[in-house]
Amino acid sequence: MRKLVTKLFFASIVATLVGCISSGEIASEYLENLPKSQNGKVAKIYVCLPTEIIHTNQTLNQIENFLYLSGKVQDSIIIANTKFLNLLKDSIYLRQFSDNLIYHLNRTGMEVHVVGRASELPAAGERVFILNIPQIEAEEFIKKSRSEFAEKNGTYYHYDYDLHGFSTNIWYVFGNNDTTGDVYYKNFEIMDSFKGQVEEIKGKKATVTGKFNRININDIYKNAASAGKNTAVLFVEKIINDYLISQGRQDKYFIYNPVQNKLYDNGISAQAGKKRSFQRTDNK
């Protein structure tokens, strides 16, 4: 009976000590220990990358009956309404994404292995993490924008203009291959900006001067690089925050800094962290 009481006493002490350890300490220790061998095994990240990208021009989708126009007319419309995709070199775009992804995953100190096909990926496990990217889409679009204001007398003024935008859209499968695991999505978007001011008002007409800061093809490649880096960051955050959940810690979401290979508590709740992270395509 005394032995049983002693065991229960020590168990209660251990439970109390574990409860005193903060989520940040648990997360940081877990990240630090991932590259270290445990039972003769080190944690590994397996990555499968796409070999081509999908080109999408949303502007063309907005043109009524576009698909029913003659090929010659379609070609002229495509040329007139395509600003980036006709200049984009897929090999450079993919390399910018992939190189930055792998570089920032390597910051964790874990082994990173790239496989050629999804069928070559092993099963995900306690120390085996799978990052399968079956599809990347390069999408350009135009956003109809308006700057507006009203005078005290109620006279309303507005200035309409177009902003060109570009998005790197990525789909992920966190499982064995294209047919196993949950599908997630994330997009990384850049866009023109406009800053203007009213110089003169005469009657019901306002004169506006301003400046557009237009994105260019170099910005598109930078967007791909940024998408690669941020994919790595979010994937490491997923590993860490999923571990915290498995340990019954669901109070906070921790941000990963790849430069320092450290985690930070930015006051983001676990619920808010879901919005920052990858989005499940089934909205769960």
pLDDT in tens, the chain (284 residues): 555 545 555 544 444 445 578 999 999 999 999 999 888 888 999 999 999 999 999 887 776 666 666 667 666 767 777 899 999 999 999 999 999 999 999 999 999 999 999 999 998 888 999 999 999 999 999 999 888 777 766 677 778 889 999 999 999 998 654 455 689 999 999 999 998 777 777 777 777 778 899 999 999 999 999 999 999 999 999 999 999 999 998 889 999 999 999 999 988 998 899 899 999 987 66
Tokens matching residue 226: 């940024």
The token pair that represents 182 in the structure block: 């949950």
Candidates 182, 187, 44, 179; CA nearest to 115 is 44
Amino acid at the residue 94: L
What domain range is 45 assigned to? 2-139+160-189+213-280
Q: Is 146 within a domain?
A: no
Q: For residues 244 and 249, what is the distance between their CA atoms, to the nearest angstrom? A: 5
| pLDDT at residue number 158 | 79
In a domain? residue 266: yes
* Position 95 in a domain: yes
196 lies in a domain? Answer: no
At residue 251, the pLDDT reads: 86
User: Tell me, what's the pLDDT at 16?
Assistant: 46
Interior angle at CA 80, CA 75 and CA 83, nearest 5? 110
Tell me if 151 is assigned to some domain.
Answer: no
Q: What is the reported pLDDT for 11?
A: 46
180 domain residue, yes or no:
yes
Residue among 164, 218, 168 nearest 189 (CA): 168
Distances (CA, A) of 130 to 1, 251, 257: 48, 25, 20
Residue 195 lies in a domain: no
**Whole-number Å distance between alpha carbons of 224 and 238:** 21
β-bridge mates for residue 159, sequence order: 147
Structurally, the chain folds into a number of domains equal to 1
131 belongs to a structural domain: yes
